[in-house]
A and B are shown apart, each in its own frame.
Chain A
């Protein structure tokens, strides 16, 4: 068996001041397999792989690569050992072409011209071989996110590697791009490349990997053959307890119409019509999911409803009231609570304390302010109550919210918005970038809010989430609603086609 093993990491320990990120992890990866590294945020996946790639130095432990103990002190060492890594955030120069990015920093300037031709030829060859066509002369900045990621992988392959590490590669991709990527990785593995795939998504593990190692709290809890495990078992190993995979049924029938949108059009700053004649209704006790590939007008639809983007034409009624010039304050007075898509950019103020972030809408109202003066003890009490209720993990509500993990930040946002007892809850990408425990929690709270009688409009690019939560699904494509479907998993293919622009047949 040991011939098979390309990489063995033994008893890896890495601590940061006050934190043990890796507490003695063992990992064994076989040649030519796709090996998933599964774990919640903060389980130590990225730290472990960054150690392998030479970005961190382990406090203890040994790395045996291709049968030899190795010391990897920098990414340069890693590349020399034929190890490549594709990071979550791309390392490409957007103004250069694909080929230029590939040879960047590699050769003396008199070699570049000849290398450029070689690079172009290599890109074409790889394109032929794996069916991933990329124009070597295309400017990287003009490529889609999925294409840019392919360039990153190409860059690694171009250096000549035997082991490829991918850090949450699907976090930025559409469902279509994801399935393309997974197919492509499978082909690479079949040709003999070893792939380590960091993820916290169970479906991806089941879909793509040969084996999976689950990390929890800086330790490896299990290594399993994917064929012999189930999402439920993986979820339990990852979280350390049973996870509710199926959501409860809705209690009661939808009630009155809360939100009625008629022929809504929204134009962006460049005058492009990004929401184009959209009509739909959301009733009490109902979750309407809007599915679609990112960038098809869902974000602008949400912003327009929340009063953060001007409505160009059409009519929006919230609680029966028609408003043309919405301000966020007016909208929220009519009972809208909004969990925005852009957590850091919009939902929270990073340098502010956790407790101040809890009162972002209501800091000026009683009891948080009296006669214009903030009442800190009231604000703190309120924050502490919600922190307990929503199980936000933190040291103190007086710490800046930037010190919380993404999942806990999102819990703060969700707690704040749900606690406003909204008539309409607008949630956009509520679980993006947060771990499975927090995801489950957030989703249950959204369902509970529906059962308390709120109307919920859910926007998500994750089909799995849409199916999980929605009572009705609308599909958006290029600013239009191209069809409505019930949340029936047998219709997955149909929705996939609609998301790609095929109209639903009547």
Chain B
């Protein structure tokens, strides 16, 4: 191992060793971290807008008008803002969950499938247990959503622990199982009475989440997502369980040496991240759609990866990055309708923003890895 490393690295190490004596380094490092972690993403987003603006121009559209409608679509009025928050809700839950997985060095690409697994289980409860009162049914629906996603996640974790199967492969495969399985359920066993559309019946009134800001559709699921992010933050950084998860993520060998049950942390991290995605599915059904259908997630599970990465896998950072992605999603829908931009180009704009922030994240990890670790507990 050591002989493949360049001597420049060795020199850097010597420099690092020397710099311990520098008294100002701690404070300066903190400032650098703060500066780079705020200015960086903003610059990345601006760069994406410049590039996509050029593309819109080439395609014969007025980029300024397009972006103005995008902004109006994201922040125009209360209704629009509430839609942004609704869009951000599943992304926030999924992103927070993925942050846990990524921090323990597990590449869970299966949030999409875990979202479906949670949605299926909570829909079943919401439809068939409609006789229960809301105070029982709503929590039950949410818990079952979490359990469904968690089981789906733990399954992939178990494959990894038991057989050494790459979680990247297994979680992607389980996505297909969950999505196609849902397709089967909503076209067959669970199809609504009328039977015209491939969708289930609506869940019982008692299974639906309270909408606290009428006439908007904003429901308490959004607040739950915020609370969830804080809980996961506390779990990761303030508890011994979080210590074990992060230790195993940084250095599995050292974690084993320290007596941490690394297999357990893998299952736990997959459980939490799957559960978060499943909870997102449950909230989507009980708060917004009230029923299950084939395309209930427009790729939340995949966007969630970018949400988590953009936030540097920090649960509180995920709140902000989920709001950004929510705004982008909402705004670009309006851009598509009002500015008559073809959907393909809208996807290009979205894709460029995501691409630039994610590649900024990777770049930052490479360049400021040392600065970023300063934030680590």
Q: Which A residues contact B (CB, under 8 angstroms)?
A: 16-19, 21, 41-42, 46-47, 50, 55-56, 87-92, 94, 145, 148, 167, 172, 306, 308, 327-329, 332, 338, 340, 342, 345-353, 356, 360-361, 363-364, 368-369, 372-374, 393-396, 399-400, 402-406, 408
**Residue B77 CB within 8 A of the other chain:** no
Query: Among the listed A89, A306, A350, A408, which residue makes an inter-chain contact with B251, where contact means beta carbons less than 8 Å apart?
Result: A350
A395 to chain B: closest CB distance in Å? 6
**Stretch from B4-12, B146-154, B203-211 at the A interface:** B4-12
Question: Please, how many angstroms separate the alpha-carbon atoms of A275 and B5 in the complex?
Answer: 29
B231 to chain A: closest CB distance in Å? 13
**Residue B240 CB within 8 A of the other chain:** yes
The verdict on A373 contacting B24 (CB below 8 Å), with A18-B19, A346-B254, A363-B243 known, is no
Structural contact, A395 and B26, CB atoms closer than 8 A: yes
B307 to chain A: closest CB distance in Å? 22
Query: Among the listed A145, A328, A396, A406, which residue makes an inter-chain contact with B259, where contact means beta carbons less than 8 Å apart?
Result: A328
Structural contact, A356 and B253, CB atoms closer than 8 A: no
Structural contact, A172 and B26, CB atoms closer than 8 A: no
Interface residues of B, count at CB 8 A: 48
Encode B268-304 as 1/0 by CB contact (under 8 A) with A. 0000000000000000000000000000000000000
Q: Using Cβ atoms and an 8 Å threshold, which residues of chain A touch B373?
A: 350-351, 400, 402
B177 to chain A: closest CB distance in Å? 32
Question: Please, how many angstroms separate the alpha-carbon atoms of A402 and B239 in the complex?
Answer: 23
A124 to chain B: closest CB distance in Å? 25
Q: Which B residues contact A (CB, under 8 angstroms)?
A: 1-11, 14-26, 238-244, 246-247, 250-251, 253-259, 261, 370, 373-374, 376-377
Structural contact, A393 and B20, CB atoms closer than 8 A: yes
The verdict on A17 contacting B19 (CB below 8 Å), with A340-B257, A372-B241, A399-B26 known, is yes
The verdict on A338 contacting B374 (CB below 8 Å), with A46-B11, A396-B26 known, is no
Q: Using Cβ atoms and an 8 Å threshold, which residues of chain B touch A56?
A: 11
Structural contact, B243 and A374, CB atoms closer than 8 A: yes
When C-beta atoms are compared, the residue in chain B nearest to A87 turns out to be: B7
Structural contact, A18 and B22, CB atoms closer than 8 A: yes
Structural contact, A349 and B17, CB atoms closer than 8 A: no
Known: A338-B257, A353-B377. 16 other contacts (CB 8 A): A21-B18, A41-B17, A308-B257, A328-B257, A332-B259, A348-B254, A351-B373, A351-B376, A356-B377, A361-B258, A363-B243, A372-B240, A373-B240, A400-B373, A402-B16, A406-B17
Query: Among the listed B5, B14, B370, which residue makes an inter-chain contact with A402, where contact means beta carbons less than 8 Å apart?
Result: B370
Question: Please, how many angstroms separate the alpha-carbon atoms of A305 and B3 in the complex?
Answer: 28
Q: Using Cβ atoms and an 8 Å threshold, which residues of chain B touch A393?
A: 20
Q: Could you list 12 examples of A-B contacts with CB < 8 Å?
A: A19-B21, A50-B11, A89-B9, A342-B253, A345-B1, A349-B255, A352-B250, A393-B20, A395-B26, A400-B373, A403-B20, A406-B17
Structural contact, A395 and B25, CB atoms closer than 8 A: yes
Structural contact, A369 and B5, CB atoms closer than 8 A: no
Structural contact, A19 and B15, CB atoms closer than 8 A: yes
- Cβ-closest 7 pairs across A and B: A18-B22, A87-B7, A329-B259, A405-B17, A351-B373, A364-B240, A360-B258
A397 to chain B: closest CB distance in Å? 12
Q: Using Cβ atoms and an 8 Å threshold, which residues of chain B touch A363?
A: 240, 243-244
Q: Using Cβ atoms and an 8 Å threshold, which residues of chain A touch B250?
A: 349-352
Structural contact, B376 and A400, CB atoms closer than 8 A: yes
Q: Using Cβ atoms and an 8 Å threshold, which residues of chain B touch A350?
A: 250-251, 373
Structural contact, A373 and B238, CB atoms closer than 8 A: yes
Query: Among the listed B3, B21, B257, B376, which residue makes an inter-chain contact with A145, where contact means beta carbons less than 8 Å apart?
Result: B3
Question: Please, how many angstroms separate the alpha-carbon atoms of A374 and B6 in the complex?
Answer: 38
Q: How many A-B residue pairs have CB under 8 A?
A: 154
Structural contact, A42 and B259, CB atoms closer than 8 A: no
Structural contact, B7 and A42, CB atoms closer than 8 A: no
When C-beta atoms are compared, the residue in chain B nearest to A396 turns out to be: B26
Question: Please, how many angstroms separate the alpha-carbon atoms of A349 and B254 in the complex?
Answer: 7
Q: Using Cβ atoms and an 8 Å threshold, which residues of chain B touch A348?
A: 254
Q: Using Cβ atoms and an 8 Å threshold, which residues of chain B touch A47?
A: 11, 14
The winner among B6, B14, B15, B25 for most chain A CB atoms within 10 A is B14
When C-beta atoms are compared, the residue in chain A nearest to B24 turns out to be: A18
Q: Using Cβ atoms and an 8 Å threshold, which residues of chain A touch B21?
A: 18-19, 395
Question: Please, how many angstroms separate the alpha-carbon atoms of A413 and B377 in the complex?
Answer: 18
The winner among A42, A55, A89, A338 for most chain B CB atoms within 10 A is A89
Q: Using Cβ atoms and an 8 Å threshold, which residues of chain B touch A308?
A: 256-257
When C-beta atoms are compared, the residue in chain B nearest to A56 turns out to be: B11
Structural contact, A345 and B26, CB atoms closer than 8 A: no
When C-beta atoms are compared, the residue in chain B nearest to A167 turns out to be: B7
The verdict on A374 contacting B5 (CB below 8 Å), with A18-B24, A360-B254 known, is no
Structural contact, B7 and A88, CB atoms closer than 8 A: yes
Q: Using Cβ atoms and an 8 Å threshold, which residues of chain A touch B240?
A: 363-364, 368-369, 372-374
Question: Please, how many angstroms separate the alpha-carbon atoms of A91 and B2 in the complex?
Answer: 11
Question: Please, how many angstroms separate the alpha-carbon atoms of A92 and B251 in the complex?
Answer: 28
Structural contact, A172 and B3, CB atoms closer than 8 A: yes
Structural contact, B18 and A404, CB atoms closer than 8 A: no
The winner among A18, A167, A338 for most chain B CB atoms within 10 A is A18
Query: Among the listed A55, A361, A374, A400, which residue makes an inter-chain contact with B239, where contact means beta carbons less than 8 Å apart?
Result: A374
When C-beta atoms are compared, the residue in chain A nearest to B11 turns out to be: A50
Structural contact, B6 and A89, CB atoms closer than 8 A: yes
Structural contact, B243 and A356, CB atoms closer than 8 A: yes
Structural contact, B247 and A349, CB atoms closer than 8 A: yes
Question: Please, how many angstroms separate the alpha-carbon atoms of A436 and B255 in the complex?
Answer: 30
The verdict on A346 contacting B17 (CB below 8 Å), with A55-B8, A145-B3, A374-B239 known, is no
Q: Using Cβ atoms and an 8 Å threshold, which residues of chain A touch B8?
A: 55
Structural contact, B10 and A345, CB atoms closer than 8 A: no
Q: Using Cβ atoms and an 8 Å threshold, which residues of chain A touch B258?
A: 328, 360-361
Structural contact, A17 and B22, CB atoms closer than 8 A: yes
A137 to chain B: closest CB distance in Å? 21
Q: Using Cβ atoms and an 8 Å threshold, which residues of chain A touch B4?
A: 89, 94
When C-beta atoms are compared, the residue in chain A nearest to B5 turns out to be: A89
Question: Please, how many angstroms separate the alpha-carbon atoms of A328 and B25 in the complex?
Answer: 37
Q: Using Cβ atoms and an 8 Å threshold, which residues of chain B touch A172?
A: 2-3
Question: Please, how many angstroms separate the alpha-carbon atoms of A308 and B258 in the complex?
Answer: 10
Question: Please, how many angstroms separate the alpha-carbon atoms of A396 and B26 in the complex?
Answer: 9
Structural contact, B23 and A395, CB atoms closer than 8 A: yes
Structural contact, B14 and A46, CB atoms closer than 8 A: yes
When C-beta atoms are compared, the residue in chain B nearest to A409 turns out to be: B17
Structural contact, A345 and B2, CB atoms closer than 8 A: no
The winner among B4, B20, B250, B373 for most chain A CB atoms within 10 A is B20
Structural contact, A347 and B20, CB atoms closer than 8 A: no
The verdict on A148 contacting B3 (CB below 8 Å), with A19-B22, A396-B26 known, is yes
When C-beta atoms are compared, the residue in chain B nearest to A19 turns out to be: B18
Structural contact, A373 and B239, CB atoms closer than 8 A: yes
Q: Using Cβ atoms and an 8 Å threshold, which residues of chain A touch B16?
A: 402-403
Structural contact, A345 and B253, CB atoms closer than 8 A: yes
Q: Using Cβ atoms and an 8 Å threshold, which residues of chain A touch B261?
A: 329
When C-beta atoms are compared, the residue in chain B nearest to A345 turns out to be: B253
When C-beta atoms are compared, the residue in chain B nearest to A398 turns out to be: B26
The verdict on A16 contacting B26 (CB below 8 Å), with A89-B7, A346-B254 known, is no
